[in-house]
Amino acid sequence: MSTTLTAGPAVGTTGRKVTGRGVLRSEWVKFWSLRSSWITLVASVAALLVFGSVASFTYSSDGGAALNGPPGAGAGGPGDAVSLALAGSTFAALGVGVLGVLMSAGEYGTGMVRSTFAAVPGRLPVLWAKATVIGPLAAIVAMAGVLAAFLTGTVGLDGETIALSLGDDGVPRSLVGAAVYLGLVAVLGVALGSLVRSTAAGIASLVGILFILPGLGSLLPGSLHDSISPYLPSNAGSSIFALQEASGSLSPAAGLAVFAGWVALAGAGAAVRLKKTDV
């Protein structure tokens, strides 16, 4: 007599069924168990508030702002109140991106990833759970920082022609767009960390993609640069929260679609490596 065996539900080392909710809860606990998690989140919010406030309070209609922010702070330039408030967005992006890398690649450095995959043999639920934890959390925290930076900046810009209020046309969309962008950057960090499996290499990849690639693109011939530049990750991301669409840049919706596509591409690469290679 022959016996047919059928595959049952995935189980961990304890014999219990592995569920998406359980994996998500596990990643949530691991995230908050590290001191670096909340420190990095606080530092990202501080960057938004400090740089945005300084840029707004030092703004002069004659000479512009004493602090315009680093490259990529916003596609709209320092000519509007939103761009000034978001002058710290580049530093915040670096913070949440590094946090994402640490969340995924950090386990490879400590060897904890072996225990994680022993408990979740399917592996991919771990990647999705990490992204689900860090993405919305980074966006919510960033929203608080962005809103605080803008409201503080309105005090510094009181009486200036570029001053805006929270209810002005386009302002809510820009502020929410900045938070969404930072949330996606955090997910990108998770994907890169899982893809390269090294904290140092993951951070280097993040910096290269977001901050160095646009500079390298400027070395291309004029027409080629103009065609490619709007679709580079950081430029597409910046257009998400630009108050006014700059010439040659993408619209906010198109920028969101392009940047989300880059994040999805990195996530797909990480998923393939998780399934195809050993720890």
Q: What is the CA radius of gyration of the chain?
A: 21
Query: Residue 223: its pLDDT value, please?
Result: 83
DSSP 168-233: STTHHHHHHHHHHHHHHHHHHHHHHHHHH--HHHHHHHHHIIIIIHHHHHTTS-HHHHHHHGGGSH
Mean pLDDT of 17-33: 88
Query: Residue 62: its pLDDT value, please?
Result: 67
Mean pLDDT of 15-26: 81
Residue type, 20: G
Cα four-point dihedral sign 111, 116, 119, 120: negative
Q: Which of 199-203, 207-211, 221-225, 272-276 is predicted least confidently?
A: 221-225
Q: Is residue 197 over pLDDT 80? A: yes
Query: Residue 142: its pLDDT value, please?
Result: 96
Domain boundaries, the chain: 20-276
Q: Which position has the higher pLDDT, 200 or 3? A: 200
Mean pLDDT of 263-270: 96
Q: Which tokens hold the place of 77?
A: 């330039």
pTM: 0.87
Tens-place pLDDT, residues 54-93? 999 998 776 544 444 333 434 444 578 999 999 999 999 9
Cite the beta strand spans of 30-128 per DSSP E.
59-60, 64-65
Contact 214, 50 (CB under 8 A): no
Query: Percent helix, strand, coil in the chain (nearest 5)?
Result: 70, 0, 30
Mean pLDDT of 142-149: 95
Alpha carbon distance 29, 58 (integer Å): 42
